[in-house]
């Protein structure tokens, strides 16, 4: 396994080759890594570009040196991807949500106006970051760029290519996001818009892009974050005019909006808490059950044993 190409690490080399396994398997038609016919040897088959042919030869060479077949390499790739996903941790929005909730809690507790003003500034910046990194925000951003590329009635090939890249980035960046409720249900629309671009139908692509953008912008999570940001700004304005009751009301609204975000974004952390509560109830029952036989434990445990023996040896006195 200690094989590297162009100075890369063995893991990166494995990933590089494994990504091409599906492609190479289709081209090789299931043949074993013993001998590869020269490119273009059969006139009835399309010629493989030199770059792809070189990669295929490198894959087979790697297989030969490592002694691993395609199935093993694919398994290694899956394990590597699983490890990378686990190392990523929660979505950035979830991490920043924890920051926002902590700042909001401090803002509700402090009586220092100067400190409160500082907290409200930090909360607003955190919420703006959350809006930008939320899946709805990234999708809207990419779609705006795609619409810019399709401004002309008849876009050029370069314009179509730029729009297609933005659509692919919007798709790839939001596939596999957990929890899935974070992502607006527009991925099928994005795929349909990309297909229109591939067909050269700029007008049809533009129409689907606009539909997807409007739907993403109105995603419930996006709207709640905007309300939270409005509450933070309202608290800051009320603080500037010394309206303490309004500040308190705005901070309560802010906390309520963040709770709504958490209800969607922190699905996986909410489930273990529910399980913990469910486990606590039987524990109380066990404690209650243990309290009942306590008086019986006060009697010596060894005394009944000789009585049992006597009962066996002399049954008549035991009956009396």
Same domain? 192 vs 233: yes
Whether 119 and 103 have beta carbons less than 8 Å apart is answered as: yes
Is the residue at 160 inside a domain? yes
195 lies in the same domain as 217: yes
**How far apart, in whole angstroms, are the C-alpha atoms of residue 316 and residue 313?**
9
- Structural domain ending residue among the three candidates 37, 65, 88: 88
Is residue 81 within 8 Å of residue 100, measured between CB atoms?
no
Q: Looking at the structure, do residues 103 and 203 belong to the same domain, yes or no?
A: yes
Asked whether residue 105 is domain-assigned, the answer is yes
pTM above 0.85, yes or no: no
Shared domain for 121 and 84, answered yes or no, is no
For residue 202 the two structure tokens come to: 């700029």
Kindly state whether residues 120 and 223 are assigned to the same domain.
Answer: yes
| pLDDT higher than 80, residue 127 | yes
Residue 47 lies in a domain: yes
Q: Encode pLDDT of 236-294 as tens digits.
A: 999 999 999 999 999 999 999 999 999 988 754 344 444 444 434 444 444 444 444 44
Domain boundary among 188, 205, 238: 238
Q: Which of 44-58, 208-222, 302-316 has the highest mean pLDDT?
A: 208-222
60 inside domain: yes
My answer on whether 102 and 212 are in the same domain is yes
Asked, for residue 284, whether it belongs to a domain, the answer is no
The domain tally of the chain equals: 2
Does 79 share its domain with 128? no
Pair (137, 180) in one structural domain: yes
- Helix/strand/coil percentages in the chain, nearest 5: 75, 0, 25
The predicted pLDDT at position 299 comes to 47
Domain region containing 27: 10-88
23 and 123 housed in the same domain: no
Note the pLDDT of residue 131. Answer: 94
For residues 80 and 18, give the distance between their C-alpha atoms in angstroms, rounded to a whole number. 11
Using the structure block, give the residue that is written with the tokens 């190392």: 87
Alpha carbon distances (Å) from 182 to 101, 214, 316: 18, 16, 79
For residue 179, being part of any structural domain is answered with: yes
Which of residues 29, 62, 88 is at a domain's end? 88
Residue % of the chain over a pLDDT of 70: 62
Give the span between the Cα atoms of 137 and 218, in whole angstroms: 10
Q: Residue 147's closest CA among 156, 159, 137?
A: 159
**126 and 51 in one domain?**
no
The answer as to whether 295 is a domain residue is no
- Which residues 6+ apart lie within 8 Å of 217 measured at CB? 136, 140
The three-point CA angle 143-148-150 to 5° equals 95
Is 34 in the same domain as 105? no
Tell me the three state secondary structure of residue 233.
helix
Residue 150 is given by DSSP the state T
DSSP-assigned letters across all residues of 236-297:
HHHHHTT-HHHHHHHHHHHHHHHHHHHHHHTHHHHHHHHHHHHHHHHHHHHHHHHHTTHHHH
Shared-domain flag, residues 181 and 231: yes
- The confidence band for 53, taking pLDDT boundaries of 50, 70 and 90, is confident
> Residue 192 falls within a domain, yes or no?
yes
């Amino acid at each position: 396994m200690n094989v590297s190409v162009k100075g890369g690490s063995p893991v990166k080399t494995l990933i590089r080759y494994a990504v091409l396994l599906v492609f190479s398997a289709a081209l090789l038609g299931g043949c074993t890594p013993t001998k590869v016919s020269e490119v273009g040897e059969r006139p009835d088959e399309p010629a493989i570009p030199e770059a792809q042919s070189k990669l295929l030869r490198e894959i087979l060479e790697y297989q030969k040196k490592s002694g691993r077949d395609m199935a093993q390499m694919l398994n290694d790739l899956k394990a590597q991807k699983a490890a990378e996903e686990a190392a990523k941790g929660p979505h950035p929005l979830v991490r920043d949500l924890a920051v926002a909730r902590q700042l909001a809690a401090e803002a509700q507790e402090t009586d220092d106006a100067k400190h409160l003003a500082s907290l409200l500034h930090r909360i607003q910046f955190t919420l703006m970051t959350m809006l930008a990194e939320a899946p709805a925000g990234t999708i809207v951003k990419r779609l705006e760029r795609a619409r810019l590329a399709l401004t002309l009635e008849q876009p050029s090939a370069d314009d179509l290519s730029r729009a297609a890249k933005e659509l692919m980035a919007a798709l790839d960046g939001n596939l596999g996001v957990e929890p899935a409720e974070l992502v607006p249900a527009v991925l099928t629309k994005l795929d349909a818009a990309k297909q229109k671009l591939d067909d050269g139908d700029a007008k049809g692509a533009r129409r689907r892009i606009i539909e997807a953008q409007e739907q993403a912008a109105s995603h419930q999570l996006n709207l709640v974050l905007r309300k939270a940001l409005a509450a933070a700004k309202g608290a800051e304005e009320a603080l500037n005019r010394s309206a303490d009751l309004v500040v308190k009301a705005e901070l309560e609204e802010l906390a309520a909006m963040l709770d709504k975000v958490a209800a969607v974004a922190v699905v996986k952390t909410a489930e273990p808490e529910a399980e913990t509560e469910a486990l606590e109830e039987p524990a109380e029952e066990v404690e209650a059950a243990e309290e009942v036989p306590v008086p019986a434990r006060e009697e010596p445990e060894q005394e009944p044993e000789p009585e049992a023996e006597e009962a066996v040896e002399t049954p008549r006195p035991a009956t009396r």
